[in-house]
Amino acid sequence: MDPLSQSHFHQRVHDQLYGHILPFWCGPALDHEQGGWMAWLANDLTPDRTQPKGLIVNSRILWAFSAVYQAKPDALYRQMAERAFEVVRNRFWDQDNGGAFWQLTGDGCVLDDSKKTYGQAFYIYALAEYHHAFATGAKAVSASVVGQSVPAAAVPAGVSPAGRLGRRHPHPPTAGETPAATAAAGTDCPTTLAAAAGTDCPTTLAAAAGTDCPTAPALARAIELFELIERHAHDPQHGGYFEVRRRDWSEAANSQLSTKDMDTAKSMNNHLHVLEAYTNLFRVWPDPRVAQRLRELITLFEQRILDSRTHHFHHFFGEAWQVRSDTYTFGHDIEGSWLLCEAAEVLGDEALLTRVHALALCMAEAVLTEGVDRDGGLCYEGQAGKIIDAGKECWPQAEAVVGFLNAFQLSGDARFLQAARRVWRYIEDHLVDRIHGEWFWRINPDGGPDPKLPKVSEWKGPYHGTRACLETLHRLELLRAASA
């Protein structure tokens, strides 16, 4: 990769994150009347206070500022993370039954009390990141490690140093350090991170952290929610997780995540984000049960969710994994390609990692071949090898930058690097709102922003864009270090 073009790419991503995305969420998106963040803002920032405050966007905001703080420990980002933690911890949590409510009114009353597994997963994802960022003595892997090389011991055979991929690639244990993740992942290990880290405490990390750890409540709640999901939403017969439970965690009559989703027992989207959440939880609490579920989820993606003929994800399934849909979304495919790699990496199983890397490359190839438009943007949806929705939503573009960079790190194939750069140019040229801030939700096939879709909503937050920037910055730094 040309050092000058790499440096320019890095600078553009840096400027977008710190000069455009984050100022919006530290400013216009704040709700100064009811606390937290606005539930809904139109593209021109007109609010609609009748709209619900959603679990998803608030969890994602907590994740975003916790992750950003690790890259740039600015007091403002910590303040925003703590503000988000207060919202997520105190307003969305069900004190009677455990778990997080799906929707609240603006003044904090429960609007939808269902326990959607997708939402519980993002709650865990955010709490684990918050703990990782702010726990006393926590080993945070910064997203700003310019010039550092990846230790040879961390690189599997056949993979370049840059191929140990994202912001949280595992680090090999130093002298005298117990390899906690590896030990805890073993099926015979009866202890948690506390014991694996070399203490005599056989309890969970939350207990081991003690009252002196400022984020112990966050991790304790993440662990509690993991236990609730496993007890009430996991399918012991067919594997995987049911979509929705009622307030008391009993079976729900309707399994739809949103009105545009099918009412089926299981979905790809739900499992992708449980995988993502458990990966993040395992980084801070490598309990063998989390490792077991990560392996189960990866196997489900390999054998049930991914179509081995087309290398696209099926979307919806019956309880015993009968396929109920025949379309696919390119954004989920490319996002899944790199999230699967992350899950395999934290487990430290080189055979599994090799297998997942091969799958990721096949998926990235299918998306590149079928989903990328002439202008460099990623189309939304396909069916039977054809585009059925040529619109370009913001989140698939963000995931495409990371997924194509990931494929380049794995393969060295310059087509993937070129694709990542072209998607980024599409983002800058079409999605960035240079008047009101942030990104437009969707660019319609006619080339204009969709006027019906808001700038902020229960689904539209800083998660995909912020994560894409952090991942891209770090991956470009790894590539530069490897070529030095």
Q: Would you state the pLDDT for residue 136?
A: 64
pLDDT(182) > 80: no
Mean confidence (pLDDT) of the chain: 87
Q: Would you state the pLDDT for residue 260?
A: 84
SS (H, E, C) the chain: CCHHHHHHHHHHHHHHHHHHHHHHHCCCCECCCCCCECCCECCCCCECCCCCEEHHHHHHHHHHHHHHHHHCCCHHHHHHHHHHHHHHHHCCECCCCCCECCEECCCCCEEECCEEHHHHHHHHHHHHHHHHHHCCCCCCCCCCCCCCCCCHHHCCCCCCHHHCCCCCCCCCCCCCCCCHHHHHHCCCCCCCHHHHCCCCCCCCHHHHHCCCCCCHHHHHHHHHHHHHHHHHCECCCCCCECCEECCCCCECCCCCCCCCCCCCCEEHHHHHHHHHHHHHHHHHCCCHHHHHHHHHHHHHHHHHHECCCCCCECCEECCCCCECCCCEEHHHHHHHHHHHHHHHHHHCCHHHHHHHHHHHHHHHHHHHHHHECCCCCECCEEECCEEEECCEEHHHHHHHHHHHHHHHHHHCCHHHHHHHHHHHHHHHHHHECCCCCCECCEECCCCCECCCCCCECCCCCCHHHHHHHHHHHHHHHHHHHHHC
| Confidence bin at 14 (pLDDT 50/70/90) | very high
Q: Would you state the pLDDT for residue 1?
A: 55
pLDDT(159) > 60: no
Q: Would you state the pLDDT for residue 484?
A: 83
The closest of 401, 383, 377 to 307, measured between CA atoms, is 383
pLDDT(415) > 90: yes
pLDDT(184) > 70: no
| Confidence bin at 431 (pLDDT 50/70/90) | very high
Going along the chain from its start, the domains and CATH numbers come out as 3-483 (1.50.10.10)
Q: Structure pTM?
A: 0.88
| Confidence bin at 183 (pLDDT 50/70/90) | very low
Q: Would you state the pLDDT for residue 204?
A: 45
Mean pLDDT of 257-270: 93
Q: Would you state the pLDDT for residue 212?
A: 66
Q: Would you state the pLDDT for residue 299?
A: 98
Q: How far is CA 100 from CA 91, 135, 227, 249, in A?
A: 9, 23, 13, 11
In this predicted structure, which of 19-28, 31-40, 256-265, 368-377 has the lowest mean pLDDT? 256-265
pLDDT(210) > 90: no
| Confidence bin at 164 (pLDDT 50/70/90) | low
Identify the residue with better confidence: 321 or 209: 321
Q: What percent of the chain is predicted at pLDDT more than 70?
A: 83
Model confidence over 97-155: pLDDT tens digits?
A: 999 999 999 999 999 999 999 999 999 999 999 999 999 654 433 333 222 233 333 33
Q: Would you state the pLDDT for residue 258?
A: 85
pLDDT(229) > 50: yes
Q: Would you state the pLDDT for residue 130?
A: 98
Model confidence over 166-176: pLDDT tens digits?
A: 765 433 333 33
Q: Would you state the pLDDT for residue 177?
A: 34
Residues with Cβ within 8 Å of residue 234, at least 6 apart in sequence: 240, 241, 242, 293
